[in-house]
Amino acid sequence: MATSPRSVDTISLCSTVSSCPDRNGFYGGFQRTEKPKEPLSKAQIIAREKKWLYMIDNWSLYMSKNYKKIRDRCRKGIPKSVRPRAWFYLSGAYLLKKKNPSVYKELLEQPGNPHVIEEIKKDKHRQFPFHEMFLDEDKVGQIELFNVLKAYSIYNPKVGFCQAQAPIAAFLLMHLPAEDAFWVFVSVCDVYLEDYFITGLEVLQNDAGILEGLLKKTCPPAYRHLQKHKVEPLLYMTDWFLCAMTRTLPWETLLRVWDCFLAEGIRVIFKVALVIIGASLNQHKVRKQCNGLCETLEVLRSPPEHVLEEDFIINNIQRLNLRVEDFQIEHTRQKNRRAKQKAMQEAAAVTTTSTTASTSHGSALSSSSSSGGGTNGYRL
């Protein structure tokens, strides 16, 4: 998996570690927030909280009759105090938990696949290592992270465990009780990022093509630059999509993006990716400096700080001139392209098999001719 310097907190960041956590629980790392967020007035906060609580209490009605209101309020940002409950409802996890009231507990009691369990144990300490919940293996964060990942690997053995799932699960555990986080995690893996974690990454490859097509529409200069230097999308977008931006964006930006992501789905991740690419490579002087694949990847993997700021990302994803139909058109185009490629590959395989068989047959016929069998040969 392609990983950017800002995607993973490494030992080189220890110099940034503080003796006390920020308001989000980070002692260090690029997602630590030094400057306080400018607060809304107390009256504004209370008013927004009341609107959200009323909406959640009447969730089915809003989802069926007034989804646009839910979407618009998510785009404005969900109040911090309401966010855990809102995510639980937005993702549909509340329905999954209601239908399966004892399943999480039952999954934890099962042993699981020994190989998968070992992989989870190796990976759990790497997630948000500078956050107060995950500082060491005795902290509740690492214990619950292991439980959620183990439970999912048993719940969906077709997927099992993929390393890219771990930061998503850890991120959810920072906001929700373990069982609720598990059901949101199930929804994200099985619905929002359906088939992303299956061996072969076929869906991700398809989405890479869709991203290219949308980039051509939204930022032609960046598209042409990437084509010129043969910068394939999977080289820079794999981590963004598989981890749903959890290892890429600053904390406040990430929260706002997930408010929208759980309301609108994978299109939001596409839009964030398009904003990052476009804003990073739109200027001619930047493209001129990136005179090769490596230089271009460096810019995309470590975008300018202002590009990843909350207001910049949220404002620009809403300004992108993209309709749902644009995504559908690109999806169909990529589906047809891959089907054509598959057909060509199958045809080539058939031709190769036929050639091999014909060569063998021709050799046999030549032998017959030399022994007096008489033939005009084998025509392909």
User: Taking 50 as the threshold, does the pLDDT of residue 227 lie above it?
Assistant: yes
Contacts of 91 (CB under 8 A, 6+ apart): 183, 184, 187, 188, 191, 192, 262
Task: Give the residue-averaged pLDDT of 157-183.
Answer: 97
Q: CA torsion, points 287, 223, 235, 197, in degrees to nearest 10?
A: 150
pLDDT at 356: 57
> Looking at residues 259-276, what average pLDDT do you find?
98
CATH number of the domain at 202-328, out of 3.40.50.10680, 2.40.50.140, 3.40.50.1820, 1.10.472.80? 1.10.472.80
pLDDT band for position 15 (cuts 50, 70, 90)? very low
| pLDDT for 131 beyond 50 | yes
Q: Is the pLDDT score of 353 beyond 70?
A: no
2 band by pLDDT with thresholds 50, 70 and 90: very low
pLDDT digits (tens, 9 = 90+) for 19-76: 889 889 999 998 998 876 767 888 999 999 999 999 999 999 999 999 999 999 999 9
Q: Can you give the pLDDT at residue 7?
A: 43
**How confident is the model over 235-243, as a mean pLDDT?**
96
pLDDT of residue 18: 80
d(CA 237, CA 301) in angstroms, rounded, equals: 9
Q: How far apart are CA 152 and CA 108, in angstroms?
A: 10
Residue 9: predicted pLDDT: 46
Phi and psi (nearest 5°) for 198?
Answer: -85, 140
What is the per-residue pLDDT for 295?
96
Confidence of residue 364 (pLDDT cuts 50, 70, 90): very low
Q: What pLDDT, on the 0 to 100 scale, is given for residue 342? A: 82
**pLDDT attached to residue 348:** 83
pLDDT of residue 379 exceeding 70: no
The average pLDDT across 306-319 equals: 96
Range of weakest confidence among 83-92, 144-153, 250-259, 338-347: 338-347
Q: Percentage of the chain with pLDDT > 70?
A: 88
- What pLDDT score does 355 carry? 62
Q: What are phi and psi of 286, to 5 degrees?
A: -70, -45
Provide the mean pLDDT of the chain.
88
Lowest mean pLDDT among 41-45, 143-147, 265-269: 41-45
Domain at 44-192: CATH code: 1.10.8.270
DSSP 71: H
Domain ranges of the chain: 44-192, 202-328
Per residue in 68-127, pLDDT tens? 999 999 999 999 999 999 999 999 999 999 999 999 999 999 999 999 999 999 999 999
**What is residue 29's DSSP assignment?**
S
CA distance 332 to 175: 36
Largest CA distance in the chain: 103
Mean pLDDT of 244-248: 97
